[in-house]
Amino acid sequence: MSEALHYELGHFNIRTVIIEPGYIAPGMKSIERDNSNAAYHQLREELNGLDSKVTGPQGRTGPDVVARAIRAAIEDEHTPLRVPVGADAELILATRSQLGDAEFESLMRATIGLTW
């Protein structure tokens, strides 16, 4: 939708920028998870430890990098349509551009460890 807006609104000199963050820490207070819905049990099990699978011991990048990217996009009129944020975003988007939908999904599922 943002890309469509980019093409339509560019005529009126209205810029649209798509910020594409990687696996960023949300920066929100952690709350206790509601484990009462059994339909999500397998998903919760497979996603358990995702941070260390994806980022290693250093953990996720903080939300401040996304805020800086947004600010830079607002202040710089030459910001491109797409702005990947974080090294993992650049890697994932580069990989995504080289694979079809099914291949990319399969690779991501294998990397994360999803079986469903």
Containing structural domain, residue 112:
1-23+57-116
* Within a domain: 50: no
Overall domain count for the chain: 1
How many other C-beta atoms lie within 10 A of the C-beta of residue 61?
Answer: 19
Under the banding of pLDDT at 50, 70 and 90, the label for residue 28 is low
* Within a domain: 41: no
* Within a domain: 49: no
* Within a domain: 48: no
In DSSP terms, 97 is beta-bridged to: none
Residue 88: partners with Cβ closer than 8 Å, 6 or more residues away: 22, 23, 54, 55, 61
Question: What's the whole-model pTM score?
Answer: 0.74
* Within a domain: 39: no
* Within a domain: 30: no
* Within a domain: 68: yes
- Is the pLDDT score of 31 beyond 80? no
Which class for 89: exposed (0-12), middle (13-18), buried (19 or more C-beta within 10 A)? buried
